[in-house]
Chain A
Amino acid sequence: MDTDSDAGPTIKLISRVGDAFELPYKAASLSQTVKDALGVEDDENEHSDDVEIVKVDTPCLEKVVEFLKHYQKDPLNEIKTPLEGNTFEDVVKQTWYQEFVKGVDQPMLFDLVTAANFMAIQPLLDLTCLQVSCQLMGKSAEEIRVILNIPKLTPEEEAKAREDHRWIFDD
């Protein structure tokens, strides 16, 4: 493990195509997947300083590393349920995290959800899932299809789906 005199020991996360991102071990250890890959609990032990994140592309991994580095300095406040507001900004009040999420396009947002899940980074998963949830709140099935880029159901498929979930329409 390399040592940065200011940040302590560092490691490199390697993307699917081989691009490397260096960050403090403490920041990286927020990822349970990274911790498991390193196979140690004590950051003073000697071990490899590269961890391959084979399922995550370079642009996405770069954003993940950005998140991890910032989180180490300024942790995301816990997102409690039931939600304390109706919009993303009402729930996540920390400006940096608001801008982090708003600054990515839809495909990148979905990639971050997947990456956060794969890398087992709970705060990032909570943050990105919340943003997706807020986009889906109050939307009809048709509007959700547009957001998630889902093909339309045939009339027969839609009729069956409504029949399967009749209880809510009966209410």
Chain B
Amino acid sequence: MKDSFNNATMLGIASFLEPWHLVNLALTCKDFGSKQGKKACQQIKSNCGDGASSANDTDNVGGWSMMEETARQIVETMSTEEERACIPRRGSESWMSVYNELEMLRYELIFDELDDYTVRYVDGDESHICCNVGSLDHMSGAYSNHCIMRAGKHYAEFQTNGLPSIMAGIDGTSIDGELVTYHFESGFCAWHGSDGIQALEGVEGVRADEASSTRFGLLLDLDNGTLAVYKNDQRLGIIKDGISGEYIWSVDICGTDLSINRAAIPNDANQIDICADRSTQIFSYGKCLDAYTNIVRS
């Protein structure tokens, strides 16, 4: 039966499949999963048509498997330019791996890791968390590990039914990765690196009485290395520049709830702000923790 299918029909079938389904297909037989010879590879491209050019793909010495070529076609013809900017292929990375990343980019944002028992999902909704404890002294963390951001622009929106204390930001995925946070109420911003915590010039915060009607947004632009804050689609400013690496969204909440949502990149995302002069004073973790604690208790 598999002989009924050529590369064009496999593309049609695979376009409805998720990446791991393609891997299972690749594992079924050599025709689907083994590298083709150069001549066969050229025939594959001829049959499928060529989305974006891959003529300069220097790693294609042995040719791609049918599933690899199918994944490449899906990535290059069924994604937007914005999406492709977020998932540049790393060296000779498997196209099915890139396709997997594309799918992850399209999934709704959720908090797939919670710090501990002090924070829980609201009604089983993994995009909406709240604190289990009522103490104002306890910050509970949550993370979107499934959404690793390494290139391009990413925008997340946050909503809450009330303050008192929410910090949201980006967390580097490497062991010594940095953390950049924005405190919703005070507008306090900080950068946490291996040397300590650096207080950044803050931006506008929000009053407790307007929290429930406010949408906070964070735009991570890894092409320009910036993190910008938005409030109800209004850009408040860039809170950090010089950012590079891989990051996930992370939040800390205290005594309240928070939901996360993947939203469209704001229209002014390409606006070039001059990042305001930032304080270069590095606080010890202890001193900055005091600053956070004061904010939490205020």
Chains A and B form a bound pair: yes
Question: Are B1's CB and A133's CB within 8 A?
Answer: no
Which of the segments B15-23, B117-125, B128-136, B239-247 contacts the partner chain?
A: B15-23
- Residues on A with C-beta less than 8 A from B12 are 113, 117, 125-126, 129
Question: Are A165's CB and B27's CB within 8 A?
Answer: yes
A112-141 toward B: CB 8 Å interface, digit per residue (1/0)? Answer: 011001000000011001101110110111
Minimum CB–CB distance from B147 to chain A (whole Å) comes to 14
Minimum CB–CB distance from B206 to chain A (whole Å) comes to 34
Which chain B residues (53-88) contact chain A, with CB distance < 8 Å? Answer: 65, 78
Question: Are B8's CB and A133's CB within 8 A?
Answer: no
> What is the size, in residues, of chain A's interface with B at 8 Å between Cβ atoms?
40
Question: Are B30's CB and A136's CB within 8 A?
Answer: no
Interface of B is mostly: helix
- A-B pairs with beta carbons under 8 A, tally: 104
Q: How far apart are the CA atoms of A5 and B131 in the complex, in Å?
A: 73
Question: Are A137's CB and B5's CB within 8 A?
Answer: no
Minimum CB–CB distance from B172 to chain A (whole Å) comes to 19
Q: Which residues of A contact B (CB under 8 A)?
A: 79, 81-83, 106-107, 110-111, 113-114, 117, 125-126, 129-130, 132-134, 136-137, 139-141, 144-145, 147-151, 153, 157-158, 161-162, 164-165, 167-168, 171
Can you list 26 pairs linking A and B with CB atoms under 8 Å apart? A79-B16, A107-B1, A111-B4, A113-B9, A113-B13, A117-B8, A125-B12, A129-B13, A132-B13, A133-B13, A133-B15, A133-B16, A136-B17, A136-B21, A136-B25, A137-B21, A139-B24, A144-B25, A150-B28, A153-B27, A161-B26, A165-B94, A165-B96, A167-B93, A167-B97, A171-B100
